[in-house]
Structure 1
Amino acid sequence: MTLVRGRISLVVLLAFAAVACQTQDKGPQPAYVSSSPYGAPAKLASQTRERGYFIEFRSRYALSYGHTYVIFGRTNKAGAVVQREVAGLAPATVDPTPYVVGHFVPVPAETGASDGDLEEEYRSASWRVMLTEAEYKKVVAFIRELKTKSRFWHATFYNCNAFVAEIARSMGYKTPGIWLRPQQFITKLREMNAG
């Protein structure tokens, strides 16, 4: 009986992974900017807002089904980024083997920037939330703590979407399921919270 349950569980896990891979990304989505009190539903705002701090939920194209991550930092009065840091979850190597293995068992992960995260031509969707200094400090403290405890990547149980979803939930936002493609995940995250 246990062997049968194990096989059924494996089939279900593979089905989730396969479904996530079957959809296709759209062209790059517009960059959205929101501003709202911390934990409240986000309202669309202009980038010129003088709060000066931001977090941007992002997805980018990749050879696989893409990648989800956050960029956070400061902007100037014109809305241009003057200081930024990246946090995301991915297998801790450029070798594709752990990425493939990570669809079956957890593999070691890294939580910083990966190749293509800061290149605008690879951005597939984004949602920037402008923050006050106090809100920013709270979010950054959560991200730093999350980075220290996120040591493994698994395509089904704890992937880049799950990592970003934890950050969004810490801010009081609703999050979509983690089995969406990254572009769909970021678009749905924005739609659920900013309309």
Structure 2
Amino acid sequence: MLRTIGTTSVLLALGLLAGCVSADEGNLEAASSPAVRTTAFAESEGTVDEGLYYIEFRARSAESYGHTFAMFGRRDRSGKILTREVAGLHPASTSDVPYVLGHLVPVPSETGPSDGDLEDRYMTARYRIDLNRREYEDVVGYIRRLQASSPVWHAVLYNCSTFVGKIANHMGLRAPNSLLFPKTYIETLRAMNT
């Protein structure tokens, strides 16, 4: 009886908390927002056209509660993305086991793209901010330092939304509670700063 309860608990945890594994939940076109400049970065010197860069805070679907991450790079004058780089915090494995364990104890992390991050069909929310060259170099420098100092992932204490929130805070933005589901997290981040 005890073995059945333990096995059932583990299987339930695996099913509910697998996290960050892609699943198609439809198109995001209606959920996209236009480029917006906000807070401290909006008040900086220069114009948006100096350098033509962006950062986009994103949420995507997954088999569990989804994933939050940042995408950044160059854009053209019409706002079309020319280059994309991803920074996001997630367990350093494609196995479900670290995701489950990461709800109990910190597990080793990676801070680059995870499966599905570059596929627009999985996006559930996004918030783009256009940047000039100086702003872009500043935020990318911060992202690199954050990546180097984020060796673990924990579902509650240091998750993908916490990681994105630190980037947003560095830019002078207010960040919502990191325990919100990714789609709600990005929508709330956008609402708090526009």
Show the counterpart of 1:4.
none
Letter in 1 for 2:81: V
Deviations 1:9-32 (CA, angstroms, capped at 9, x unpaired): xxxxxxxxx9xxxxxx99845212
Deviations 1:103-148 (CA, angstroms, capped at 9, x unpaired): 0000000000011001111000000000110000000000000000
Show the counterpart of 1:154.
154
SS in 1 for 2:155: coil
Show the counterpart of 2:37.
35
Do the aligned partners of 1:59 and 1:68 also contact (CA within 8 Å) in 2? Answer: yes
Show the counterpart of 2:124.
124
Distance 2:26 2:161 in 1: 18
Distance 1:190 1:86 in 2: 19
SS in 2 for 1:157: coil
Show the counterpart of 2:165.
165
What stretches of structure 2 of length at least 5 have no aligned partner?
1-16, 18-24
Do the aligned partners of 1:87 and 1:143 also contact (CA within 8 Å) in 2? Answer: yes
Show the counterpart of 1:86.
86
Aligned residues: 165
Show the counterpart of 1:50.
49
The offset of 1:191, in angstroms, is 0.1
Show the counterpart of 1:22.
none
Instruction: Give percent identity, aligned residues only.
Output: 46
Distance 1:87 1:124 in 2: 17
Show the counterpart of 1:75.
75
Do the aligned partners of 1:55 and 1:128 also contact (CA within 8 Å) in 2? Answer: yes
What stretches of structure 1 of length at least 5 have no aligned partner?
1-17, 19-24, 42-48
SS in 1 for 2:84: strand
Q: TM-score with structure 1 length normalisation?
A: 0.79
Do the aligned partners of 2:26 and 2:121 also contact (CA within 8 Å) in 1? Answer: no
SS in 2 for 1:129: strand
From the two aligned structures, give the one with the greater strand fraction.
1
1:134 aligns with 2:150: no
